[in-house]
Amino acid sequence: MHVSEVTKIRRKVLAEVSRLALEGTLEENIAGILSTVVSEDGPRYRCCVHKERAVLKDRINMALSQPIGTPLAEAAGKALGGERADLPAVNLLPEACDRCPIDKFLVTDACRNCLAHNCIASCPKKAIMVVQNRAYIDKTICIECGMCKRSCSYGAIIEISRPCERACDLKAIVAGSDRRAVIDYEKCVQCGACKVACPFGAISERSEIVQLIQRIKDGQRVYALLAPAFIGQFGPKVKPEQIIGAIGRLGFHSVKEVALGADAVALAEAGEFTRAVPAEQPFLTTSCCPAFVAMVEKHLPDAGDRVSTTVSPMIAAAKAVKEEDPSAAIVFVGPCVAKKAEARRYPDLVDFVLTFEELAAMFVGAGINVAETEAGDHLTAASRDGIGFARAGGVTQAVLDTVAHLAPGAALKPQRADGLADCLAVLTKMQQGALDANFLEGMACQGGCVGGPGTMADQRLTAKLVELYAGQAPVATAPDNTAARPEIDLHRRKK
């Protein structure tokens, strides 16, 4: 998997913040990160070292979960005190945004200077003229409506979008009047696709590494809930036992697999399907992907009552831990940025959310080499189907197998969608009755959770490794798994 310079810098910042927090010297040495990550002789991606460090300050504020512009020592002090600013999961770093000077519509060499001049006739602002025997767009007048592109018979006018805009299937990010990106949080579902797409790293998620480290150092019992996509994230040869062992070396009290919560969800969702479809509603959608659920709430609210009322595997697993240890602190570790937003709905259950990238930064900060960590004994408590939730089609398979066990006569006709554009299109068709399906698996990320923005490994490799790991599970389906906890209240909280 290609690791860009943007990713390397982001990881360096997180690792340095972790190291200083673990050493107990964060507040006095936080400003030193500006020199250790961006040295006078280091590579330049912007005009000067001052600009590089201005961008770095924004990144550090995000790494401390503090508002952009907060003085670093003050931000470090607040993070060490456990304060977390009320920020969205995904945020723009203003200094890092390059204001992409892209002309959205461009006249190409295919222009023939035809007699029809449809482009000129269609332009509502008279922004197109002929210059040197070719159409020319006056950018000072153009309002980027696209009428010229649509009217050209030769297709000689092309549209070029900014990477962040192109990555957002829900049109939640646009260029502002000063050409800086602007996130419309009324539309944004915080999936993190724009973060991955921006070549300047101008979009980042808030991190709560310092607050988590302080909680561990304070001696609280901190549980890690490990999402099933963890297989392969730290190298294809690294064993699951080594990853779990390395998490223990960070000071976590215990590690639980979210896949066990997925088994409970499969049982609850299958039961919900057999009760409600078709007696109460024509179809049911999954609810395990928080970005998909948010997409329905914000972009297709009429379909809201089609979404399963069952919680996600993260919440199911957290509830199981809380039942056994009510004073536990719970940390979800996975590939998902949107989980940071979902956790805000359940502050009494999930205390922190880490991406795999953030966990890796903690390993680096603590000087832990996962590949050299001794492997202990570990046998997953989840079923094959529960582990399979990590890849596209996995939830469908789990619910299919569970319905077949619970209600053999029920006819489940599944449909899958991964990627928010696909989810939106498929769900719209199902609302219109245009698809012969009564169950929809909706995943915001391509390939499912293994393609999430917080991953560190190629999704195709991870999907294969997850499949191999699932094959080692002691039982195949959720109904076979006596460790699943269907008796816990698994009803999802509304927005």
Between 433 and 483, the higher pLDDT residue: 433
What is the percent of the chain where pLDDT is above 70?
A: 98
- What is the structure's pLDDT at 100? 79
- CA-based nearest residue to 249, from 413, 115, 85, 374: 374
Give dist(CA 274, CA 140) in Å, integer. Answer: 59
Mean pLDDT of all residues in 154-172:
93
Conformation bin of residue 433: beta by default, left when phi > 0, alpha when psi is -120 to 50: left
> Helix, strand or coil for residue 450?
helix
Give dist(CA 34, CA 40) in Å, integer. Answer: 10
Count CA within 13 A, CB hemisphere, residue 164.
32
> pLDDT tens digit string along 354-392?
999 999 999 999 999 999 998 888 889 999 999 999 999
Give dist(CA 216, CA 301) in Å, integer. Answer: 40
- What is the structure's pLDDT at 460? 94
- CA-based nearest residue to 315, from 329, 330, 326, 305: 330
> pLDDT tens digit string along 440-467?
999 999 999 999 999 999 999 999 999 9
pLDDT category of residue 30 using cuts at 50, 70 and 90: very high
Mean pLDDT across the chain: 93
Amino acid in position 490: L
**What is the largest distance, in Å, between two alpha-carbon atoms of the chain?**
78
> pLDDT tens digit string along 86-132?
999 999 998 888 877 667 789 999 999 999 999 999 999 999 999 98
| Cα–Cα distance list, 211 to 243, 266, 321, 484 (Å) | 22, 33, 21, 31
Mean pLDDT of all residues in 228-240:
94
- CA-based nearest residue to 295, from 387, 419, 403: 419
Model confidence, pTM: 0.91
Mean pLDDT of all residues in 177-204:
93
Give dist(CA 336, CA 329) in Å, integer. Answer: 19
106 is written with which tokens?
Answer: 């461009």
Q: What is the DSSP string of 402-445?
A: HHHHH-TT----EEEEESHHHHHHHHHHHHTT-SS-SEEEEESS
User: Would the pLDDT of 486 be above 80?
Assistant: no
pLDDT category of residue 330 using cuts at 50, 70 and 90: very high
- What is the structure's pLDDT at 495? 61
116 is written with which tokens?
Answer: 């029809």
pLDDT category of residue 492 using cuts at 50, 70 and 90: confident
What is the percent of the chain where pLDDT is above 90?
A: 83
- CA-based nearest residue to 287, from 467, 494, 450: 494
- What is the structure's pLDDT at 417? 97
User: Would the pLDDT of 1 be above 80?
Assistant: no
> pLDDT tens digit string along 32-58?
999 888 777 766 677 777 888 899 999
User: Would the pLDDT of 412 be above 80?
Assistant: yes
Mean pLDDT of all residues in 306-324:
96
- CA-based nearest residue to 187, from 66, 63, 93, 88: 88
User: Would the pLDDT of 266 be above 90?
Assistant: yes
